[in-house]
A and B are shown apart, each in its own frame.
Chain A
Amino acid sequence: MAKSKTIKVDYLARVEGEGALYIRYDDAGVHDVKLKIFEPPRFFEGFMRGRDFREAPDITARICGICPIAYQMSAVHAMEDALGLTLPPELHALRRLIYCGEWIESHTLHIYMLHAPDFLGYPGAVAMAKDHPQIVQDGLSIKKAGNAIVGLLGGREVHPINVRVGGFYRVPSAGELQPLREQLLHGRDMAMETVRWAVSLPFPKFERALSEQYEFVALSHSNEYPMNRGSIVSTRGLAIPVRDYDSHFREEHVEYSSALHSTLIERGAYFVGPMARYNLNYDRLSPMVRQVAGEMGFPPFCANPFHSIVVRSLEVLFAFDEAVRLIDEYRKPDVAYISAETHAGTGYGATEAPRGLLYHRYSIDDAGKITEAKIVAPTSQNQKTIEDDLRLMLPKFMHLPEKQLQAQCEQAIRNYDPCISCSTHFLKMNLQRVERTSS
Chain B
Amino acid sequence: MSDWAVISLGNRFRGDDSVGPYVLHRLRPHLEPAVPCIENGGDIASLLEVWKDRHVCMVDAVAADDLATGAILRLDGLAQEILPSLCTTSSHGINLGEALEMGRLLQALPQRLEIYGICGENFAISAGLSPAVQAAAEIVEQEILALLNTYSGGSPCTNNR
Interface positions of A (Cβ within 8 A of B):
13-16, 43-44, 47, 59, 62, 64-66, 68, 105, 109-110, 113-114, 124-126, 129-130, 133, 136-137, 140, 143-144, 147, 156-159, 419, 422-426
Are the CB atoms of A424 and B89 closer together than 8 Å? yes
- Cβ of B12: which chain A residues have Cβ within 8 Å of it? 62
Q: A147-B49, A425-B89, A426-B88 are in contact. List 10 more A-B contacts (CB 8 A).
A: A13-B93, A44-B13, A62-B13, A65-B11, A65-B90, A65-B92, A68-B41, A124-B98, A157-B46, A423-B90
- Cβ of A423: which chain B residues have Cβ within 8 Å of it? 11, 14, 89-90, 125
Give, as a whole number of angstroms, the nearest-CB distance from B56 to chain A: 16
Give the residue name and chain of the A residue nearest to B17 (CB).
Answer: A423
Give, as a whole number of angstroms, the nearest-CB distance from B53 to chain A: 15
Are the CB atoms of B43 and A43 closer together than 8 Å? no
At the interface, yes or no: B48 with Cβ under 8 Å from chain A? yes
Give, as a whole number of angstroms, the nearest-CB distance from A1 to chain B: 37
Give, as a whole number of angstroms, the nearest-CB distance from B55 to chain A: 21
Give, as a whole number of angstroms, the nearest-CB distance from B97 to chain A: 9
Among the listed B48, B91, B126, which residue makes an inter-chain contact with A65, where contact means beta carbons less than 8 Å apart? B91
- Cβ of A125: which chain B residues have Cβ within 8 Å of it? 94, 98, 102
Are the CB atoms of B45 and A113 closer together than 8 Å? yes
A-B contact pairs, 11 of them (CB 8 A): A43-B124, A65-B90, A113-B45, A114-B92, A114-B93, A125-B102, A126-B98, A129-B102, A157-B43, A157-B46, A423-B14
- Cβ of A14: which chain B residues have Cβ within 8 Å of it? 92-94
At the interface, yes or no: B3 with Cβ under 8 Å from chain A? no
Which residues in window 77-103 of B have CB below 8 A to A? 88-94, 98, 101-102
Give, as a whole number of angstroms, the nearest-CB distance from A147 to chain B: 6
- Cβ of A68: which chain B residues have Cβ within 8 Å of it? 41
Query: In the bound complex, what is the Cα–Cα distance between A47 and B128 (angstroms)?
Result: 13
Are the CB atoms of B93 and A159 closer together than 8 Å? no
- Cβ of A158: which chain B residues have Cβ within 8 Å of it? 39-43, 46
Query: In the bound complex, what is the Cα–Cα distance between A143 and B44 (angstroms)?
Result: 12
Q: What number of A-B contacts does a CB cutoff of 8 Å give?
A: 99
Among the listed B13, B46, B49, B101, which residue makes an inter-chain contact with A59, where contact means beta carbons less than 8 Å apart? B13
- Cβ of B105: which chain A residues have Cβ within 8 Å of it? 126, 129-130, 133, 136
- Cβ of A137: which chain B residues have Cβ within 8 Å of it? 106
Give, as a whole number of angstroms, the nearest-CB distance from A135 to chain B: 11
Query: In the bound complex, what is the Cα–Cα distance between A157 and B13 (angstroms)?
Result: 18
Are the CB atoms of A66 and B42 closer together than 8 Å? yes
Are the CB atoms of B102 and A66 closer together than 8 Å? no
Among the listed A47, A62, A126, which residue makes an inter-chain contact with B11, where contact means beta carbons less than 8 Å apart? A62
Among the listed B39, B42, B101, B125, which residue makes an inter-chain contact with A64, where contact means beta carbons less than 8 Å apart? B42
Are the CB atoms of B106 and A126 closer together than 8 Å? no
Query: In the bound complex, what is the Cα–Cα distance between A71 and B91 (angstroms)?
Result: 17
Query: In the bound complex, what is the Cα–Cα distance between A375 and B43 (angstroms)?
Result: 22
How many interface residues does chain B have, given as a range? 20 to 34
- Cβ of B125: which chain A residues have Cβ within 8 Å of it? 43-44, 47, 423
Query: In the bound complex, what is the Cα–Cα distance between A126 and B105 (angstroms)?
Result: 8
Are the CB atoms of A140 and B48 closer together than 8 Å? yes
Query: In the bound complex, what is the Cα–Cα distance between A124 and B11 (angstroms)?
Result: 24
Are the CB atoms of A147 and B46 closer together than 8 Å? yes
Are the CB atoms of A136 and B102 closer together than 8 Å? yes
Which residues in window 8-31 of B have CB below 8 A to A? 11-14
Give the residue name and chain of the A residue nearest to B108 (CB).
Answer: A140
Query: In the bound complex, what is the Cα–Cα distance between A144 and B48 (angstroms)?
Result: 11
Which residues in window 86-145 of B have CB below 8 A to A? 88-94, 98, 101-102, 105-106, 124-126
Are the CB atoms of B93 and A16 closer together than 8 Å? yes
Among the listed A13, A15, A16, A426, which residue makes an inter-chain contact with B90, where contact means beta carbons less than 8 Å apart? A16
Query: In the bound complex, what is the Cα–Cα distance between A279 and B46 (angstroms)?
Result: 31
Residue in B42, B92, B94, B98 whose Cβ sees the most chain A Cβ within 10 Å? B92
Query: In the bound complex, what is the Cα–Cα distance between A47 and B43 (angstroms)?
Result: 24
Give, as a whole number of angstroms, the nearest-CB distance from A264 to chain B: 28
- Cβ of A156: which chain B residues have Cβ within 8 Å of it? 39
Are the CB atoms of B93 and A66 closer together than 8 Å? no
Among the listed B13, B14, B49, which residue makes an inter-chain contact with A144, where contact means beta carbons less than 8 Å apart? B49
Give, as a whole number of angstroms, the nearest-CB distance from B117 to chain A: 17
Are the CB atoms of A419 and B41 closer together than 8 Å? no
Give the residue name and chain of the B residue nearest to A62 (CB).
Answer: B13
Give, as a whole number of angstroms, the nearest-CB distance from A145 to chain B: 12
Residue in B12, B14, B94 whose Cβ sees the most chain A Cβ within 10 Å? B94
Among the listed B14, B41, B45, B102, which residue makes an inter-chain contact with A143, where contact means beta carbons less than 8 Å apart? B45
Are the CB atoms of B45 and A109 closer together than 8 Å? yes
Give, as a whole number of angstroms, the nearest-CB distance from A375 to chain B: 13
- Cβ of A113: which chain B residues have Cβ within 8 Å of it? 45, 92, 94
Query: In the bound complex, what is the Cα–Cα distance between A247 and B15 (angstroms)?
Result: 36
Are the CB atoms of B41 and A16 closer together than 8 Å? no
Query: In the bound complex, what is the Cα–Cα distance between A144 and B46 (angstroms)?
Result: 8
Are the CB atoms of A159 and B49 closer together than 8 Å? no
Give the residue name and chain of the A residue nearest to B88 (CB).
Answer: A425
Query: In the bound complex, what is the Cα–Cα distance between A240 and B27 (angstroms)?
Result: 49
- Cβ of A114: which chain B residues have Cβ within 8 Å of it? 92-93
- Cβ of A157: which chain B residues have Cβ within 8 Å of it? 43, 46
Among the listed B45, B88, B90, B98, which residue makes an inter-chain contact with A140, where contact means beta carbons less than 8 Å apart? B45
Query: In the bound complex, what is the Cα–Cα distance between A14 and B98 (angstroms)?
Result: 12
- Cβ of B89: which chain A residues have Cβ within 8 Å of it? 65, 423-425
Give, as a whole number of angstroms, the nearest-CB distance from B125 to chain A: 4
Give, as a whole number of angstroms, the nearest-CB distance from A124 to chain B: 7
